[in-house]
Amino acid sequence: MSTKDKITMKWSDRSRILGMPITFTKYSMSDDRIFCEKGLLSVKFEEILLYRVRDISMKITLGQRIFGVGSILLQSSDKTSPVLELKNIKNPREVKEMIHRQVEEIKVQRRMRFGEILEDPSDEDSFDSFE
């Protein structure tokens, strides 16, 4: 039994072609992570800790609308995978909301809140106003 089998998944899907799950890209979400598994012979695994997710966006092109799929873009503070795109997944609106709720829940559990950075950190004069 693999480690992934011991993790309870809240959601899973495959990337789809023409609305059918015939690709070798699998996505899943546990209580605290999102997983991406790509490949057939050589498999690449990626995961993002949900508390590191900073922004969630969704894109549904005309072609995706026709086949009932869409893509979700997760931007995170993760060093190895700062951007993860869940491509051509079924029910993208519902999945986006589910991910959003889970991200907020895990941040509350870990007592993590990130403040919005309003100033450009590369601007040296931005700190002068506080002196």
Write the pLDDT tens digit of every residue in 19-75. 898 899 999 999 999 999 999 999 999 999 999 999 999 999 999 999 999 999 999
CA distance 47 to 35: 4
- For the record, the structure tokens of 46 come out as 């990626």
At 16 the pLDDT is 94
The helix/strand/coil state of 92 is helix
pTM: 0.77
Give the H or E element holding residue 73: strand 69-76
CA distance 131 to 112: 28
pLDDT above 50 (res 1): no
Kindly list the strands in the beta sheet with 83-90, ordered across the sheet, starting from the edge strand earlier in the chain: 53-59, 69-76, 83-90
At 128 the pLDDT is 45
Instruction: Report DSSP state, residue 9.
Output: P
Instruction: Report DSSP state, residue 20.
Output: B
- For the record, the structure tokens of 112 come out as 């993590």
